[in-house]
Amino acid sequence: MTVAKQIYNARHIYKLSIKGSRMAKLVQKFEENNYVFNYITVSWSKTVQDIFFAHPESEKLFNTFSTVLVMDSTYKTNQYKMSLFEIVGLTSTEMTYNVGFAFLISKKEEKFTWTLLECANLLKCKKQMLKVIITDMDTALMNVVAKQFLTSSALVCEFHILNNVRARCILDCKLKDFKGKHVKSLNLVDTKL
């Protein structure tokens, strides 16, 4: 006779085995396609905690156009509830390209430090440091950028600034008319970057 607890335990073990096999398959695909990747595992198991990866062509582009980087992360939008941290570069013709991605278990300074060091390791010439780094309003990321890239100018994304201004205006003004047509007129964002 099986009890409900045994079924729940078996289902949990099965889900853990699927997660492990998915990660092993992902690492295998990275190796087959010559991706640059690194990961951190939990100290007491083989469970992957954080993973950074970059396409080989992205590495070439980054070594050619390493002047401007734009960084942003989603917050727990995937089934593993991990943040996807995206690093995007800008070419001399104002086209964007993906430098690298990282799935991070949390948005803490040590995670961003590790990710930015992995990104910096993509550069072949260490003298070729970044000049401009654009981030969102994430204070942990802004602190790490200030510590890791001392010679770079750190800027906040115009899109995030205007969204904060719009939200603040709505809270401070509390005008009925402001919520409607005037808020739309604040949408002057040039989202080229």
One digit per residue, pLDDT tens: the chain, 193 residues? Answer: 778 888 888 888 777 666 656 777 888 889 999 999 999 888 777 777 889 999 999 999 999 998 899 998 887 677 777 889 999 999 989 899 999 999 998 888 999 999 999 998 998 886 667 788 888 878 888 899 888 888 888 887 777 677 777 877 777 776 555 555 555 555 444 444 4
Is pTM beyond 0.85? Reply is no
Tell whether 24 and 43 lie within a shared domain: no
Tell whether 16 and 39 lie within a shared domain: no
For residues 58 and 121, is the Cβ–Cβ distance under 8 A?
no
Strands 48-54 and 68-73, how do they pair? unpaired
Question: How many domains does the chain fold into?
Answer: 2
Tell whether 39 and 8 lie within a shared domain: no
Return the bridge partners of 103, or none. 51, 84
Tell whether 40 and 117 lie within a shared domain: yes
Tell whether 102 and 116 lie within a shared domain: yes
pLDDT at residue number 9: 84
Tell whether 83 and 152 lie within a shared domain: yes
Q: Which domain holds residue 28?
A: 1-33
Tokens standing for residue 170:
């709505």
Tell whether 68 and 147 lie within a shared domain: yes
What is the DSSP secondary-structure string of 128-193? ---SEEEE-S-HHHHHHHHHH-TTSEEEE-HHHHHHHHHHHHHHHH--HHIIIIIHHHT----TT-
